[in-house]
Chains A and B, each alone.
Chain A
C-alpha cells in the first residue's frame, strides 16, 4: 500500500473539505435538535402554567373556605367577650360599627337592585359599537348616584364595594376588588329604597342618559337583600394610624 498516494495535494484538500462539511453538518443537526427541543418546551411550559393556575385556583377556593371558618370563630370569640364585661362591650360595639363601615360584615336590609345589560338597539352609528356596551364608567355613575342617595352598603355581582375597591375596565369584563365580572351587572345597595330609586330614575339622571343608548336597565326595590362581607386582603402598607397630639401638624396650610 502506497501511503504517499493518499497524501497528494488533491487528497489533502478534499479531506479538509470533507472534514469541514462533516463538522458543520453534524453541528447543524445538533443545533436543530436543541432548537426544536426548546420549541417543544415552550409548549410544555404553557401547559404547565395552565395546570399551575388551575391548582392555585383550587387552593384559593379552599383557603377562602378556611377564611370563612376563621371569621366565624372570631365572631364567636367576640360574642363571648361582649358577654363578660362592660369595657369589652363598648369595644365590641365600636368594632361592629367600624366593620359595618368598612364592609367587613355581611349586612341585610331593604334597598334596590339595579341590573345593567348591554344594549339591544341596532347599531345606527357606524364603527361605534363601544357606545352600546356597558362600561366601568356607567357602573361608577350608578354607584355614585346610589351613594349620594344614602346607600349604606353596595355590591356589584355579589362583590362588596369597600373603600379600596376599584371599578375598572378589564377587557370585556369589569374588575372589582381584583375579581372580574361580566354582564349582566347587578348592583345591589342597602339604604332607603324610595330615595335611591328616585335618585336613579330622575329626569336626565343616570338611567335616563343610559337608556338613550338602549341599555337594558332595570331598577327594582327590594324589601330584604343580603350583601356578603368583603373577603379580600386587608393589607395597609402605607397608611399608618397617626397619633393624636395636642399640637397636631396635620392641618398644615393654615
Chain B
C-alpha cells in the first residue's frame, strides 16, 4: 500500500517538475537507476529467502547508486566507458536475483498445489 503510494508520488513529482536532465547528467543517472534497481531486486530475493535486513537494503540502495555514479564520473574523467562495467555487473545481478525470486515463487506455488492434492 505505502509502497504503491510512494511510487505514484515519485512519478507525480517528477512529472510536475519543469526541468529535465541534460544529456551528460542523464548518463550518470541511468547508471544510478540500474544500481538502485539491482538493490530492489536483491531486496526482493532476500525477502524470499527470509534473509532480508533493512539496514543492508537501504545502505545497498544508496551506496550502490552512489558508487555507480562515481565510477561513471571517474570513467568519463579517464576516458574509459565504465558505464559498461556497471551495466554488465548490475544487469547480471538483476537476472540472478530474478532467478532466485522466480524459483521461490514457483516452489511455493507448487508446494501449495501438492498440499491441496494430498
A interface residues with partner B (beta carbon < 8 Å): 6-7, 9-28, 30-32, 34-35
Contact = CB atoms under 8 A, between A and B. Distances in A.
Contacts of B3: 11, 14-15, 18
Contacts of B54: 9-10, 13
Contacts of A28: 21, 26, 29-30, 33
B88 interface: no
Contacts of A16: 6
Contacts, number: 92
A22 B30 CA distance: 13
The A interface is mostly helix, strand or loop, or mixed, namely helix
B68 interface: no
A18 B26 contact: no
Interface stretch (B11-19, B76-84, B102-110): B11-19
**Top 6 nearest A-B pairs by Cβ distance?**
A22-B10, A26-B14, A23-B10, A31-B21, A15-B6, A19-B6
Contacts of A23: 10-11, 13-14
A21 B33 contact: yes
Given A6-B2, A15-B5, A21-B37, A26 B23 contact: no
Contacts of A30: 14-15, 20
B2 A21 contact: no
